Structure 1
Amino acid sequence: MTTLGFSVHPGEILREEYLVPLKLKPYTLAKYLHVPRTRIERLVAEHTPVTPDTALRLAKFFDTTPQFWMNMQTAYDLATEGAVKKDEIAAIDNYAEARLAA
């Protein structure tokens, strides 16, 4: 099985790599993105995921791509879910093993 390794929540990246260096508050970013302030506050607090809508808005504002934000979210989701279900996933045979067992 492929290990996905450590992953960082996209809210931490947004906070530490964008908001802090640019001296932007979540409220200010929310105004620029035309979203409720709570959306950005919850994201930078790592309480909520990046949604496609938020990824599109962040990409436009920071001149990145929506895929940049969504890939971070997907990597984080896979790493955290994989850690929680590690034993359950390990118990699944791959296709070749399942055919041999049949």
Structure 2
Amino acid sequence: MDNLPNIHPGEILFEEFMGPLSISQNKLARDIGVQPIRINQIIHGKRSITADTALRLGRYFGTSVGFWLGLQADYDVEKALVSLGSRLEEEVAILNATPVAAVAPYDQGRVAVVAFGASKCV
């Protein structure tokens, strides 16, 4: 972990998008078709950005869905790392097996999972 603060995606939404574009919570909510409370809770760090919200924000601001979901995932992982602390190393052993599982693209969107010499389609 580094020393940078863990910034909730709602803060980025507010500081980097809504503020510079002078978009109010009510306007954003109305424009993307959600209740204003959802936007309020997100920008105050009390609610996560869901796939539904990410789709709406991505379309509205011209960003990728992955941008918003990535911000949320990064925030959640950092929060979990802080919460777990050294317990992660104490409670979870590292699997000592080779080869390491590999995931590769396979046949029109399905994924081939190859692990320990066996493979299957999921």
Residue 26 of structure 2 is aligned to residue 27 of structure 1: yes
Alignment of 1:36-51 (within 5 A): 36-51=35-50
Deviation at 1:90, TM superposition (A): 1.6
Count how many residue pairs are aligned between Structure 1 and Structure 2: 95
Match of 1:17 in 2: 16
The TM-score with structure 1 as length reference comes to 0.86
In 2: Cα distance, 1:25 partner to 1:59 partner = 17
Deviation at 1:95, TM superposition (A): 1.4
Alignment of 1:68-83 (within 5 A): 68-83=67-82
Deviation at 1:52, TM superposition (A): 0.3
Deviation at 1:87, TM superposition (A): 2.0
Kindly indicate which of the two structures has a greater share of residues assigned to strand: 2
Kindly indicate which of the two structures has a greater share of residues assigned to helix: 1
Give the % identical residues. 31
In 2: Cα distance, 1:5 partner to 1:52 partner = 29
Deviation at 1:4, TM superposition (A): 7.2
In 2: Cα distance, 1:89 partner to 1:46 partner = 25
In 2: Cα distance, 1:57 partner to 1:94 partner = 39
The TM-score with structure 2 as length reference comes to 0.73
- Provide the alpha-carbon RMSD of the alignment: 1.7
Alignment of 1:83-94 (within 5 A): 83-91=82-90, 92-94=92-94
In 1: Cα distance, 2:7 partner to 2:74 partner = 8
- In structure 1, runs of 5+ residues without a counterpart are 97-102
- In structure 2, runs of 5+ residues without a counterpart are 97-122
